[in-house]
Structure 1
Amino acid sequence: MKFSPIFLAVSAVLSSTAAFANTAANPAEDPTDPVVEKITKNAAQSQSSEAKALKDIEVIQVKGSYFNGYKVDNANGAMRANISLLETAQSVTVIPATVINEQLATTLGEVLANDASLTAGSKQRNREVFNLRGFELSSSNGYLRDGHQHWSHYQQPIETLESIEVIKGPSSILYGQSGPGGLVNMVTKKPTTNSIFNLGVDVDQEGSSRLTLDAGGAITADESLRYRANLVKQDVIYQREYQNGEQRERERFLGALVVDYDISDDLLVSLHYDRTNDKAGLDTGAWLDDEGNIIGDDKTIRDMSWAFTDITVENYGVDANYILSDSWQVKFGYNEQTFERQRFESAPKKPSGFVEGDSYTSKPYDRYDDWQFTTTFIDFTGEFELAGVEHNLLVGANYLDYYYGQLKVKGDSFEYSAGQGEPPRPDISYTTDDSLYTSEYDYYGIYIQDLITINQEWQVMIGGRYDKQSKTGADNESLLPKAGVLYHPNDNTTFYGSYSEGFEPQSSETIHNDQDLNDGMEIDAMTSKQYEVGAKWQLLDDRLLLTTALFDITKSGVLVTEDYQGENENITTVTTQVGEQRHKGFEMAAQGAVTDKLFVMTSMMYLDAAYGKNQDGNKNYTGMTPVDAPEWSASIWSRYELTEDLAINAGAFYQGERFADGNNTIVKDAYTRIDIGATYKINVSNTDINLRFNVQNLFDTDYLAGGGTSNVTVGDGRSYRLAMQVAF
């Protein structure tokens, strides 16, 4: 076998502990873009027998604009298959690499701002939290990566992604336990047959920098062995600062490698590995007063400058695709994820009625967390005709093995107020903890889904899942249905209606409280139901996709604890499983080409979110709106091509008023953030050089993003970012 020199060089760097460069800002559509896309042997594993024919085509060149890539017609995550969005009976948004790169995005939150159905929660402790249709996405079951459930308790390495799919509504039928808002599926970059080698660097006005490498190509002469590698070194200096005057900083390193091998014409095997090291100072957010105003300076961090979090994440696994016949194929996937984190906290606590100048208590501790997340799936898919009706059938199973371990040592509490000298870091270490807290569970599910094409106008989708969780004191079984009807009055239009369910197991099988009237009562998983109707149109010669959706989601089975009013002196509370949360709303989105020179990605959402019968301690939230669930939200990002090599961008991101507390007494004001940018491409000695300049928050708008009264995220002021990418 003859190996590519570029591949050997990249592999050597990845194997070194000093690996640091990355993939980030490939300014055009992945994988090779700018002007030429090549369809080669790695198209071989597609959904139908037509894929085999493509294997005989060496190279097809498609000429097109360098700036294409806004519109995406398919989403793999929604149906666990490469099915058109027009044949998908639910709302799905796909954010492509073109938009990610134009925005010079460095975090998942910057990307997800392009879909108004997602709103940001708190960013404390160097991670991001999001709400989808008003429901918080759990880091354990709210995210997928290439269809695998992905532990997402850290800022995702988006430089490895070619697109992000936002799958809306309960999706438990295909993925198991998950929340009612939906899922975020991160689709990674794939190996290419044609050689690519892109270097990038971007900087901002604070002195932050990011170095990136994205390389790929065929390793062997027959192109049966291919690779894709991404390397990143990022140093971030934030606008907020500690009370001793030091600015918060962050260091991140990423190395990722994917290798595809065509073992035969019918069998593709893919191996992947990535490692992220991410260390940052802590910022648990700003504090708000009773009027919703920031207490003190909006740049002030209440944590001590010695507080930090240090994360190491590794993913490795294998995927395989085998074509059984012209109509059937089987897919297999395995991923092992290890997540280790040290978090040294100063843990400031906001006192009641706090004003600047008052003292507050910090309770420092050193903590080590170890998560291990193993996922496996196998899917059989087939296309066939039965009794004159066409079927696209999926039968599969997936499995998750979860482990968590924690060590923690506390230090002495201390009082602090603004203007004092910063106390020294306590001499404590989690390594001295002689106890280990652990939590483990596993679950598996078996699912079936059939997209039935009755005729050119009508399709029906039906499916179901059996799911079982094994956890000490919290075993759970669920049986879920899903159904949809699609009507296509013409080739470019779809009207649909769908019903889906989701579930989230409780922490135990029964109520454990001997002072509760219902002590020992068996409890079921929390469930969710969604009714959705919508429409999708391909407009302007199929260049623009317009979608609308009406949804009604109800989450039930939340435990509600109330004061006991009876005569039994040994009983103080009554806990029942009657809590409810109902979110209703309307969405509209469009993405693609409006003209030959104007491209847009825009969305809006109206949301009516409220608790039913819900109580937390002595607080009754019945009728209240959840935190960070705005009634109105909207976004737009656009590009206009002035010439073939020069384009300008403009974007606006709107969030309506949101509550900062569960009692709905503190309101965060609505805001609109305006961003602009420009890209210029030049060619020097047959080397493409792309220059980009972006301005975020052009008008220096003051605003509060996600988070509550003691952990709110303060929006950054005006910032500038300059980038250069070189494609060899």
Structure 2
Amino acid sequence: MKILYAALSFICLSLVAQVASAQLSINGKITDKSNKPIPGATVKLVEKNLIQITDQDGLFEFSDLTPSSYSFIASYIGYETQSTKFNVQNGKTQLTIQLENKDNELQGVEITGRKEQAYKNTKSFSGTKTETPLRYVPQAISYVTKEVIDDQQAFKASDVIKNISGATHFSYYNNDISLRGFRSSNALINGLRTPTSSWSQPLLPNVERIEVIKGPASALFANTDPGGTVNTVTKKPLDEARKSINFSTGSYNTNRLMADFTGPMNDTKTLLYRLNLAYQNAESFRVLQGGEDIVIAPSISFIPDDKTQVNFDFVYSKTKSRLDRGQPIFGATAGTDLNSTPISFALGKRNDFENETNLYVTTSLQRKITKNVTFNASYMKFMYDEDLLEHRTSNRYAVDAAGVSIPTKMEMQTIRRQGKNYSDNITAYFVTDFETGPLKHKVVTGYDYIQNESPIGNSNYNATGYRKLDGTVGNYNKNTPGLFVMKDGNPVPNVPHFDLVNPDYSISEISGYINTSSQTDPAKYYVHGIYIQDQISFGKFQALLALRQEYYTDINRYKKPDEKKVEQKALIPRLGLVYTPLDQVSFYGTYAEGYQPQSVAQIGDPVRFGGPFDPLISNMYEVGAKTEFFEKRLSANLSFYRIEQKNVLINAGNPGNTEELRQEGQQRAKGIEIDINGAIMPNFSVTANFAISRAETTKSDKPENVGLLNANAPKAQGGLWAKYTFLNPDLKGLGIGAGVNYTGKRNTLNTILELPEYTLFSAALYYSIDKFKISGNLNNVFNKTHWVGGYDFNRLYPGAPRNFMIGIGYTF
């Protein structure tokens, strides 16, 4: 028996020894063709679905392998992706992979996805309509990549604005931000114009990066704002399989779910897909705010040969929430304490709602006609649908019989609104490469068509004002109190005042008010634009010359017997020069003009807002430098600019119509900005921004307005976010993140109300094990009370107090 036990023990020990000897590790190195190590490269072990990032010496390691043949895929920005088969056996565990510099033809339209997984983005279409390295674009373009969005657990566009230099909030509304001191509302998706009707900010599950083209971009994208234009770049299919699911939960009963699936649909990889899904159900630090959001975003790319690429995007976004128009504070005089009202305070009723649907479809085509000529075309159809009920302020305090404001009560109104808006955007252009002597040309010649329509059938149901004895309503006039219904010596409001001291959020039946039902006038405008742009390369210099002829047509009294077309046109130039003395350094200068009609159709209601108005005319001078550090892992952009704009719309200050607008003479912004994005080391990523600027009125028919700073435009603003992942084996998988953001004092639309400066800190902790990643983010660490923007004493937008988010993700 002892012999049997001994034999069994020997066999077991032998098997264990064999298994132990079969567990191998492979040490590898990624280099370029000159055998120089490439740190930060991505190496994927296909059979195990494992990914490693090379260290400072270009080294990587996979352990716990058994003898077999394995496939490795190595990639890095600016290099061709390399696939390698390697037979792992005893005594043979060293692997070196060399990557070749990528010098391929650049895309004409963004069809295939970005494989990089970094804070840095190397190329962009938005600056030139061709895929151009950012260092060769003679204009500042700031951006936030999906990796920053993921690490900060940002879920809406408002969460990432802090990473852009010179960008601050104007309100909570979608795309309502200040860029370089000017209020901006225009938005692009993949370089195509979208309507700005939406109030709610969309979720970001299908966003590759958010770019901001600084300064006027009219020479490329028609009528745009002078401070800058936000371009959202959506995720495109990849030719390698990647799948992930993420769940998050945190403050304000927030629950989120996201999924991202992409890869080839056939063996030849001519058909690629991507599917992004997102769901959020969240409340808010504000009373009766928050809501439910859902996004479904499939995308397909068809690449039948090396001459043809086609992409199709479909995005469905649904939001069920309430329209948050900010909060009033007690009192309305200089020196009023902003803290007199809790930041959690909001106006409204329990039965208020704002249901919004955004649906857009995009088709893009690239066809290489000859060796030097490529045709590119894109089309977007965008639909917006709104169903709204709100109890909101009339932008003024309640008044007593003498017409004196009551600082603890707000005059209210109700709005019941249903409507749709449609937008079409077509762009088609040829890219031609040729040489004239020592000069290399890349010429873009194209045509754009943009159309926006609010159809017949949109309608409002509105109650406002004070009740009159004749059964009608109107604005109270202290000189004719006998015309109004009085109670306890004060005029009776049509919609009960909202008591700021004792708020009442109970359900309110709007049929009990005197309502006016009105059909919203249908509206339509369309734009034709033809343009030519030449990117000229000669030695260390690159010049950009562009000219656009735009024809803008607005239809006044659309669909009515006296319909009239109002036509405007503009010739818009753009000039730029880039000098690259060293491979890592570029200096640039640019001149650009902007043009934006302000018409009846854009304003939407001339009786309410005034008009028609003259178009906005702007111009910009900008110089700067773009550099790269740490083996091109980190980029920095420094810019100096001056922007002038004429015919700015501001509030007319009419007490009888608080929403009436008028045009100011001229505004000017001067400033310095810096944006830094990338990695100092492969395991140490950073994004930083800083801006010093002064945006003010320089000409006005009211002398007291000259020198007045623009609303929500701080003189100083900046931010920093850094993430560090430990390489020590004892701390493998652990990472930390930290950030700080500063916003200086700002004016509002009310000249006596100034918003205070604030500094916010944030922190994060990450842990990755196998295919799981656990994240914890803490925002506003020290619970700083602050305001992100504001209009007046009755329309302020407080920022969120301390809040947290816990996320868990699985990649497979």
For Structure 1 versus Structure 2, the TM-score category normalised by the shorter chain is 0.7 to 0.9
Displacement after TM superposition at 1:220 (Å): 2.1
Partner of 2:685: 599
Given the alignment, which residue of 139, 144, 154 partners 1:95?
144
Asked if 1:107 corresponds to 2:156, the answer is: yes
CA contact (8 A) 2:358 2:384 kept: yes
SS at match of 1:414: coil
Partner of 1:339: 384
Displacement after TM superposition at 1:86 (Å): 1.3
CA contact (8 A) 1:295 1:356 kept: no
Within-5 A mapping of 1:305-324: 305-324=350-369
Displacement after TM superposition at 1:255 (Å): 0.6
Partner of 1:471: 554
Identity %: 23
The one-character-per-residue Cα deviations of 1:399-455 (angstroms, maximum 9, x if unpaired) are 111102431012442223242644533245999957342110111111111111121
Q: Taking structure 1 as reference, are residues 147 and 50 closer, same or farther at Cα in structure 2, changes over 3 Å only?
A: closer
Partner of 1:675: 762
Given the alignment, which residue of 783, 787, 802 partners 1:704?
787
Partner of 1:390: 440
Partner of 1:437: 521
CA contact (8 A) 1:40 1:193 kept: no
Amino acid at match of 1:163: R
Displacement after TM superposition at 1:508 (Å): 5.7
Asked if 1:410 corresponds to 2:496, the answer is: no
Within-5 A mapping of 1:121-160: 121-123=170-172, 127=174, 129-138=176-185, 142-152=186-196, 153=198, 154-160=200-206
Partner of 1:5: none
Q: In angstroms, what is the RMSD of aligned CA positions? A: 3.2
Partner of 1:269: 310
Aligned mates of 2:454, 2:51 — CA distance in 1: 44
TM-score (norm: length of structure 1): 0.83
Given the alignment, which residue of 176, 185, 194 partners 2:222?
176
Partner of 1:532: 622
Q: Taking structure 1 as reference, are residues 523 and 486 closer, same or farther at Cα in structure 2, changes over 3 Å only?
A: same
Given the alignment, which residue of 526, 538, 556 partners 2:646?
556
Displacement after TM superposition at 1:358 (Å): 2.8
Aligned mates of 2:361, 2:205 — CA distance in 1: 17
Aligned mates of 1:362, 1:632 — CA distance in 2: 36
Partner of 1:506: 598
Asked if 1:119 corresponds to 2:168, the answer is: yes
Identify the range of structure 1 (580-589 vs 357-366) with the bigger mean alpha-carbon deviation.
Answer: 357-366
CA contact (8 A) 2:668 2:695 kept: yes
SS at match of 1:113: helix
Aligned mates of 2:51, 2:291 — CA distance in 1: 32
Aligned mates of 1:240, 1:576 — CA distance in 2: 33
Asked if 1:486 corresponds to 2:578, the answer is: yes
Displacement after TM superposition at 1:394 (Å): 1.1
Aligned mates of 2:716, 2:259 — CA distance in 1: 39
Aligned mates of 2:346, 2:622 — CA distance in 1: 43
Aligned mates of 2:219, 2:150 — CA distance in 1: 33
CA contact (8 A) 2:417 2:460 kept: yes
TM-score (norm: length of structure 2): 0.74
CA contact (8 A) 2:414 2:510 kept: no
Partner of 2:92: none
SS at match of 1:174: helix
Asked if 1:365 corresponds to 2:453, the answer is: no
Aligned mates of 1:449, 1:369 — CA distance in 2: 39
SS at match of 1:220: coil
Aligned mates of 2:796, 2:650 — CA distance in 1: 27
Given the alignment, which residue of 492, 502, 509 partners 1:419?
502
Aligned mates of 1:489, 1:530 — CA distance in 2: 25
Displacement after TM superposition at 1:294 (Å): 3.8
SS at match of 1:238: coil
CA contact (8 A) 2:187 2:229 kept: yes
The one-character-per-residue Cα deviations of 1:12-56 (angstroms, maximum 9, x if unpaired) are xxxxxxxxxxxxxxxx999x9954667789xxxx9964889xxxx
SS at match of 1:506: coil
In structure 1, list runs of 5 or more residues that go unmatched.
Answer: 1-27, 53-61, 242-246, 510-518, 564-574
The one-character-per-residue Cα deviations of 1:118-137 (angstroms, maximum 9, x if unpaired) are 1111115xx45111111111
Q: Taking structure 1 as reference, are residues 673 and 561 closer, same or farther at Cα in structure 2, changes over 3 Å only?
A: closer
Displacement after TM superposition at 1:299 (Å): 0.9
CA contact (8 A) 2:688 2:721 kept: yes
Displacement after TM superposition at 1:143 (Å): 1.2
SS at match of 1:347: strand
Partner of 2:607: none
Q: Taking structure 1 as reference, are residues 274 and 51 closer, same or farther at Cα in structure 2, changes over 3 Å only?
A: closer
Displacement after TM superposition at 1:327 (Å): 2.1
The one-character-per-residue Cα deviations of 1:551-589 (angstroms, maximum 9, x if unpaired) are 0000024479999xxxxxxxxxxx998711100101112
Aligned mates of 2:43, 2:668 — CA distance in 1: 39
Aligned mates of 2:392, 2:107 — CA distance in 1: 56
Displacement after TM superposition at 1:656 (Å): 0.4
SS at match of 1:119: strand
Asked if 1:83 corresponds to 2:132, the answer is: yes
Displacement after TM superposition at 1:326 (Å): 2.4
Asked if 1:278 corresponds to 2:365, the answer is: no
SS at match of 2:284: strand
Aligned mates of 1:240, 1:117 — CA distance in 2: 27
Aligned mates of 2:694, 2:443 — CA distance in 1: 36
CA contact (8 A) 2:219 2:573 kept: yes
SS at match of 2:286: strand
**Structure label with greater radius of gyration:** 2
Q: Taking structure 1 as reference, are residues 103 and 51 closer, same or farther at Cα in structure 2, changes over 3 Å only?
A: closer
Displacement after TM superposition at 1:714 (Å): 1.0
Asked if 1:211 corresponds to 2:211, the answer is: no
Partner of 2:656: none
Aligned mates of 1:29, 1:689 — CA distance in 2: 18
Q: Taking structure 1 as reference, are residues 557 and 37 closer, same or farther at Cα in structure 2, changes over 3 Å only?
A: farther
Aligned mates of 1:465, 1:120 — CA distance in 2: 31
CA contact (8 A) 1:651 1:674 kept: yes
In structure 2, list runs of 5 or more residues that go unmatched.
Answer: 1-41, 53-72, 83-101, 109-114, 400-404, 464-493, 556-564, 602-609, 654-660
By relative contact order (CA 8 Å, sep 6+), the higher-ranking structure is 1
Within-5 A mapping of 1:577-588: 579-588=665-674
Amino acid at match of 1:603: N
Aligned mates of 1:497, 1:645 — CA distance in 2: 44
Displacement after TM superposition at 1:524 (Å): 5.0
Displacement after TM superposition at 1:637 (Å): 0.7
Q: Taking structure 1 as reference, are residues 317 and 92 closer, same or farther at Cα in structure 2, changes over 3 Å only?
A: closer
CA contact (8 A) 1:69 1:96 kept: yes
Asked if 1:718 corresponds to 2:808, the answer is: no
CA contact (8 A) 1:626 1:662 kept: no
Displacement after TM superposition at 1:78 (Å): 1.0
Asked if 1:191 corresponds to 2:237, the answer is: yes
CA contact (8 A) 2:675 2:690 kept: yes
Aligned mates of 1:356, 1:524 — CA distance in 2: 38
Amino acid at match of 2:638: T
Displacement after TM superposition at 1:263 (Å): 3.4
Count the aligned residue pairs.
644
Amino acid at match of 2:368: I
